[in-house]
């Protein structure tokens, strides 16, 4: 139910949904519910939230531009908003850039509660080029992950297999091939070790699958702090984090083939300022 409502109610955040559910202000087929349940076609869902609250939630998000030129924009995305869909980050971008002939479009994705750098194209030619560059691994994406546990090796490249359960919006990891599972590759290096058994990792993925970083790190025994889906609640409470501490903090353009009007971007590296990440632990 949460995904359905978050995708279809303009201004509804996960925290507001949780609070509304806790107060039993959601009805399904005339019955109040206080837990997340499955909804089916033809179910009647009523949600009691004032318009003032919804509008204030939506208007509170301000676009943070990290880099912009005539072809691309790179934003710093906050937590608690999807990249696409109803009431999404892309909708906010389209509203802010409504004067352009071409609506800026995202060239990659970030999970709802993953923060950091997100790249948008300002014209169709740039979009086509950048989508191709991401497919061919000619743009590096680096993530900061604050995890519980300290890896025994400073650098590691890990292969596994991932299965996506669309109904549950959940992925499963296996260390051996299985039917329906696809191969994933996740690499990390340890940037910082803390006395509280937490560490800061620089993470790269060669295969950009749904929830790959979150699920794969958790499978290896290093759950991301604050991750309510693949992490551990007792750890999240201990560190007082309600969103996964995962941030897209660096983009580097490593073009190895023709890049047309974007050739000037080659070798450009965009790094999010420390003050805009969670690097102060």
Which positions are annotated as active-site residues?
111
Residues forming beta bridges with residue 33, ordered by sequence position: 26
The secondary element (H helix, E strand) that includes residue 262 is none
Query: How many whole angstroms separate alpha carbon 187 and alpha carbon 70?
Result: 33
Q: Are 171 and 209 in contact (CB under 8 A)?
A: yes
What 8-state DSSP symbol labels residue 244?
-
| 116, two tokens | 């950091």
The secondary element (H helix, E strand) that includes residue 223 is none
Q: Are 12 and 49 in contact (CB under 8 A)?
A: yes
Q: How far is CA 175 from CA 156, 158, 201, in A?
A: 15, 10, 21
Q: List all residues 6 or more positions away from 71 whose beta carbon is below 8 Å from its beta carbon.
A: 121, 122, 123, 125, 126, 261, 262
The C-alpha angle with vertex 218 and arms to 81 and 233, in degrees rounded to 5, equals 70
Q: List all residues 6 or more positions away from 176 whose beta carbon is below 8 Å from its beta carbon.
A: 161
Classify 260 in phi/psi space as left (phi over 0), alpha (psi -120 to 50) or beta. left
Phi, psi of 190 (to 5 degrees): -85, 120
Return the percent helix, strand and coil in the chain, to nearest 5. Answer: 25, 30, 45
Residues forming beta bridges with residue 249, ordered by sequence position: none
């Amino acid at each position: 139910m949460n995904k359905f409502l978050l995708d279809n109610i303009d201004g509804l955040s996960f925290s507001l949904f949780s609070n509304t559910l806790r107060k039993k202000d959601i009805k399904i087929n005339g019955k109040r519910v206080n837990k997340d349940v499955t909804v089916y076609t033809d179910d009647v869902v009523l949600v009691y939230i004032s318009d003032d609250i919804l509008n204030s939630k939506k208007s509170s998000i301000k676009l943070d531009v990290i880099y912009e030129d005539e072809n691309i924009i790179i934003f710093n995305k906050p937590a608690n908003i999807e990249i696409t869909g109803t009431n999404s980050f892309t909708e906010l971008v389209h509203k802010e850039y409504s004067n352009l002939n071409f609506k800026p479009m995202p060239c990659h994705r970030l999970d709802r509660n993953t923060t950091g750098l997100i790249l948008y194209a300002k014209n169709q030619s740039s979009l086509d080029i950048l989508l191709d560059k991401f497919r061919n691994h000619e743009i590096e994406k680096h993530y900061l992950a604050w995890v519980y546990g300290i890896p025994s090796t400073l650098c590691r490249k890990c292969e596994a297999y991932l299965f996506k359960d669309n109904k549950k919006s959940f992925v499963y990891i296996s260390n051996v091939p299985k039917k329906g599972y696809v191969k994933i590759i996740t690499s990390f290096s340890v940037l910082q070790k803390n006395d509280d058994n937490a560490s800061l990792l620089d993470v790269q993925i060669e295969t950009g699958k749904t929830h790959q970083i979150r699920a794969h790190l958790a499978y290896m025994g290093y759950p991301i702090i604050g991750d309510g889906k693949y992490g551990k609640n007792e750890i999240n409470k201990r560190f007082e984090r309600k969103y996964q501490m995962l941030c897209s903090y660096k983009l580097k353009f490593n073009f190895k083939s023709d890049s047309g009007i974007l050739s000037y971007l080659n070798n450009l590296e965009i790094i999010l300022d420390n003050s805009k990440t969670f690097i102060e632990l």
